[in-house]
Structure 1
Amino acid sequence: MDRLWRSIASKGQRDLWKRKVEQVAEEGDSLKENLDKLSARQQQRMQEAKERAELMQRVNGDGELVLKIFDDEARAMESARNSHIMVEEAYSTGVAILSKYAEQKDRLKIAQRKALDILNTVGLSNSVLKLIERRHRVDKWVAYAGMIITVILVYMFWRWTH
């Protein structure tokens, strides 16, 4: 991802994507750190549960309650592993999305270049396009003025006949 944001030509876009990549990296680091802490706690709890189960079996020979606690801890550890896998998948999805955005940006640049080439071959320059737009605006105002004058004349004719 670090390589992809560096390939963006626009400084504003590059800075934006740099911040986004840094934010995703920080979130990933934070999640990984929290997951490591959770894993360490789970390992410690499982070890303590094993020791308790051994002690309980020595004392009264019945460690079903401790084994149930141990099973709960094992399920929690499996859930933590699944969460880690999901975080890794989300990270890889983010990388894939950023690479697709870079590809789309390149395609749009190519399309823009082709459009400009076509405009240059037709011979339309910016000044001609501005002249056309100005003429269109003037034509629109002339049409509106004509509509207003027509309504006024129809109203005057109607008043004159009635």
Structure 2
Amino acid sequence: MSICMHLHRNQQRFAPMQEPSPSIIRAWGRLIRTERTVVGRIEASLKSAGLPSLHWYDVLLELKRGPGGRLTPREIEAAVLFEQYNLSRLLDRMEGEGLVRRIPYPGDKRRQIVEITDEGRALQERMWSVYGAAINRFIGDKLTDREAGQLSALLLKLLQE
């Protein structure tokens, strides 16, 4: 049986797909372009200030929020805002810079806990001064608080299944 015939038979078993409307397609494109553009501008702001990337900030912030400034690598992975395929390598670099330290997990030497250092806390605060200003410049200066609330609510709808 040819692939085309197989696909045709499978299509008959499922409800026909309704094409997205032009408005939905336009919204999708703008969502992706906006995310890339705003994140790129914020990353450029951090870089021009001599600071590391948003990934570093995100890990430091989550550690700072963690109980006692500590989380397991799995907890960090679940909490961060970015897609992180190699958190271990990032943590190696951050540990090399003295921003975090790894300590053995109590009762399980195969696992570890990551702890933010004083240097990590200080870097996170320095980064926030640039990051927060960039969020205001690229979002806050363009949207009213009401519009930002509406956008937030709409984006939340997209996150729900």
TM-score range, shorter chain: under 0.3
From the two aligned structures, give the one with the greater strand fraction: 2
Normalised by the size of structure 2, how large is the TM-score? Answer: 0.27
From the two aligned structures, give the one with the greater helix fraction: 1
Pick the structure with greater CA Rg. Answer: 1
Normalised by the size of structure 1, how large is the TM-score? Answer: 0.26
